[in-house]
Amino acid sequence: MKNGVRSGPGMNAAAAGDYSYHNSAVPHRKRVLAWIDISNGYQHDAVSHAVSVIERLGYETGAYDTFIRSDSHEITKDTLRGSDGQPLLYGKNLNDFDAIFFFGVREIDLTQAQRRDLLSFVHDDGKGFVVAHAGATAFFSWPEFGKMLGGRFDEHPWGIVNAPVLVEDPAFPGMEHLPASFPHTDEYYQIKEFSRSNVRVLLRLDVSNLQLQGNPLIHHGGTDFPLAWAKTYGKGRVYYSALGHDPSNWDERAVQEMYYQALLWALKIKDADITPRPLMESTSAQH
């Protein structure tokens, strides 16, 4: 995708609107919990670099502060306590955050109370939930998580390949400066438990030159392979993108801008029309 991005505005404090670092009218900047629990799965090489990029973008622009956790201790609304049972000094729980950036995988050990608190964080509190790449592999045993996310990982039929990505919604934050179609190398996912009636698709894979017939990992007919979407879950905002398998993906300006702007949208700093739309067989958006 390195050559696929048109010139766009630089990331600076102005991009964050009223949430810039020097704005004393608010008690603190927005807070993002970068949650990367991989204790029961595997760690993509990209995970560490991805959260470092997310942290840097928030810090440099002044839009938000990032708190990085590789465990799930803070996925609760209860008081955080140490192994001695005493409250943790400066401990933070979900009540202290405005959004989650999630790059965890597979089954994560959460209690039933933690699961309820996570869903409530988005659904009832109106907070944001931004999920990157392998986050779609998480919690297969938890149907409500899949409902919140809007889709599930269902294999990567071609491994890591270069293929065109089609922009379905150039008006969504982070998509404005992309051409209607751009080349990109990534590990593209097939998605299941997905319906366009529930989400606004932002990006999809152009599979016109990829093997569909006879590919044993293709599990559905048609050519609809969504790569990024936005949706609501109760009062909250949810964003998913399959992009970001390799650490080098997170050095690409377009990928950085997409996730940064997605966080601004999830944090309700920016707005967008996310009315679900049917598949557009051809991308005719003008930029």
The pLDDT tens digits of the residues spanning 92-106 come to: 888 989 999 998 776
Structure token digits, residue 56? 């840097």
- At residue 175, the pLDDT reads 94
* Fold assignment, 13-266: Rossmann fold (3.40.50)
pLDDT surpassing 70 at residue 121: yes
Mean pLDDT score across all residues of the chain:
79
pLDDT surpassing 50 at residue 178: yes
> Coil, strand or helix: which one is 170?
coil
- At residue 49, the pLDDT reads 92
> Coil, strand or helix: which one is 250?
helix
- CA–CA distance from 101 to each of 55, 58, 129, 132, 260 (Å)? 10, 12, 6, 8, 10
Using only C-alpha atoms, the chain has a radius of gyration, in whole angstroms, of 18
**Over the stretch 128-169, which tens digit does the pLDDT of each residue have?**
999 998 877 888 788 898 889 988 766 566 567 788 999 999
Q: What is the pTM of this model?
A: 0.82
Average pLDDT, stretch 107-134? Answer: 90
* pLDDT greater at residue 135 or residue 24: 135
* Residue given tokens 């894979």 in the structure block: 205
pLDDT surpassing 60 at residue 7: no
**Over the stretch 58-78, which tens digit does the pLDDT of each residue have?**
999 999 999 998 776 788 887
Confidence of residue 86 (pLDDT cuts 50, 70, 90): low
- At residue 185, the pLDDT reads 85
- At residue 130, the pLDDT reads 97
* pLDDT greater at residue 214 or residue 59: 59
- At residue 256, the pLDDT reads 94
Partners of 47 in beta bridges: none
Partners of 102 in beta bridges: 35, 131
C-alpha 281/C-alpha 285 separation (Å) is 12
Output helix, strand, coil percentages for the chain, rounded to the nearest 5: 25, 20, 55
* Residues ≥6 apart with Cβ < 8 Å to 277: 168, 196, 200, 201
- At residue 15, the pLDDT reads 40
pLDDT surpassing 50 at residue 39: yes
* pLDDT greater at residue 49 or residue 19: 49
* CB-based contact 66:133 (threshold 8 Å): no
Partners of 35 in beta bridges: 69, 102
**Over the stretch 229-264, which tens digit does the pLDDT of each residue have?**
999 999 999 999 999 878 888 899 999 999 999 999
**SS3 string of 176-206?**
CCCCCEEEEEEECCCEECCCCCCCEEEEEEC
Structure token digits, residue 166? 């089609």
**Beta-carbon neighbour count of residue 284 at 10 Å?**
7
* Residues ≥6 apart with Cβ < 8 Å to 119: 144, 145, 148
